[in-house]
């Protein structure tokens, strides 16, 4: 039978080099709508020039887009990578103009619009870079940093996990508002939808989500523990090599040839480290994204049915706390080891190459783990608020 739902329009502002992320926004919205809209009474609608703009004439392409697309959207999602976009009459790019329109609304009425901005940090081939465009992105990023908080990501899966959590927070807030406000407070956002049994997607239950989240977290924890073992073993090997070189000093064995031999063995150790850790990286990415997504779903679902099972809810919260702690321990180990490698002097060409490769690998892991930790903390906050609201 028909029922009223609150529709939140999500405007996506970005240039052409983040098309995968633009597609991901629609995928996340569709997924949230299919799983939570029926129970929450809130539905998202993606708004972008691909879906809403039609041919027209004006002073510029951006002016035509501005006339056609709604200016009263509820959520602005901005995404930038290496390109800033084409200048308009009002700004250095359409994305910047769209952001300023949203930010002016926010300054006038803070509750009128939510602003989520993301910067992609994935490496790109230098030959494909437009230095002028990248400089504008960096300049804009510095300006935004003065206004508030933005998020960074390296992969589309990371972006989806972060966006899912952030939209989940907004969904939570609007669900509470819908339940507590009078009809006049949000009537303009409401539409009637068909909620017959055939139209409603079956939503996963809290116990299923909690179990799935635990399994995914276990896989990430296993990778994190493997990384700590690999780092510890390499650290011991590096200390052995250092002692070998030190023991040569003042002896007949202290020759350039012998010293280089010992150093090149250390280079081989670093190369093996890079190969071993690179095998763990795709496993970490896949399961970190899955665990964060499932944890966010479990946190939201917990408010509806799971919080009646206080043991399961408390266990999920404790698992996330332990999960975040494991990530933090792995980060500390990796950052400490990276610092020790960075501080080593330039020794041989093969050692320097191996050191650069190892540092590059560690940088990728640090980025993944830091983003995972931040998202885990947000999910913990989301779950705790649900627990507090239920009390």
What's the pLDDT tens digit per position in 367-387? Answer: 888 878 887 887 777 677 666
Copy the structure tokens of residue 236.
């011991």
Q: What is the phi/psi pair of residue 304, to 5°?
A: -85, -45
Distance between CA atoms of residues 383 and 364, nearest Å: 29
How does residue 117 score in pLDDT terms, banded at 50, 70 and 90? Answer: very high
- CB distance 16 to 39 below 8 Å: no
pLDDT at 307 over 50: no
Q: Provide the pLDDT for residue 176.
A: 61
Question: Can you give the pTM of this predicted structure?
Answer: 0.67
pLDDT at 108 over 70: yes
**Contacts (Cβ under 8 Å, ≥6 apart) of 289:** 155, 157, 158, 160, 161
Distance between CA atoms of residues 369 and 223, nearest Å: 11
H-state helical runs in the chain: 19-40, 49-52, 61-68, 94-108, 131-147, 156-180, 183-186, 206-248, 256-302, 310-342, 349-390
Q: Share the mean pLDDT of the chain.
A: 78
Give 254's DSSP letter.
-
């Amino acid at each position: 039978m028909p029922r009223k739902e609150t529709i939140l329009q999500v405007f996506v502002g970005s240039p052409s080099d983040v098309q995968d992320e633009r597609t991901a926004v629609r995928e996340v919205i569709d997924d949230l709508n299919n799983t939570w809209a029926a129970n929450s009474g809130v539905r998202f609608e993606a708004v972008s020039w691909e879906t809403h703009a039609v041919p027209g004439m004006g002073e510029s392409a951006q002016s035509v887009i501005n006339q056609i697309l709604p200016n009263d959207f509820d959520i602005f999602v901005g995404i930038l990578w290496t390109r800033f976009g084409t200048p308009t009459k009002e700004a250095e790019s359409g994305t910047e103009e769209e952001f300023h329109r949203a930010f002016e609304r926010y300054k006038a009425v803070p509750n009128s619009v939510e602003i989520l901005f993301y910067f992609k940090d994935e490496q790109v081939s230098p030959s494909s870079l437009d230095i002028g465009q990248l400089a504008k992105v960096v300049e804009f990023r510095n300006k935004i940093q003065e206004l508030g908080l933005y998020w960074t990501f390296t992969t589309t899966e990371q972006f989806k996990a972060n966006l899912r959590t952030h939209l989940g927070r907004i969904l939570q807030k609007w669900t509470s508002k819908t339940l507590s406000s009078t009809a006049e407070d949000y009537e303009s956002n409401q539409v009637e939808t068909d909620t017959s049994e055939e139209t409603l997607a079956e939503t996963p239950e809290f116990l299923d989500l909690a179990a799935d989240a635990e399994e995914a977290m276990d896989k990430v924890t296993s990778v994190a523990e493997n990384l700590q073992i690999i780092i510890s073993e390499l650290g011991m090997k590096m200390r052995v090599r250092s002692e070998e070189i030190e023991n040569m000093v003042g002896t007949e064995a202290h020759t350039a040839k012998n010293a280089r031999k010992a150093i090149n063995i250390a280079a081989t150790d670093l190369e093996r480290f890079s190969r071993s850790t690179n095998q763990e990286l795709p496993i970490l990415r896949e399961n970190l994204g899955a665990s964060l997504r499932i944890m966010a779903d479990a946190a939201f679902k917990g408010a509806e049915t799971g919080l009646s099972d206080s043991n399961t809810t408390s266990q999920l919260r404790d698992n996330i706390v332990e999960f975040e702690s494991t990530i933090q321990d792995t980060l500390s180990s990796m950052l400490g080891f990276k610092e020790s490698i960075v501080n080593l002097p330039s020794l041989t060409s093969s050692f320097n190459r191996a050191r650069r490769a190892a540092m590059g690998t560690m940088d990728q892991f640090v980025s993944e783990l830091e983003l995972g930790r931040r998202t885990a903390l947000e999910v913990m906050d989301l779950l705790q608020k649900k627990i507090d609201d239920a009390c």
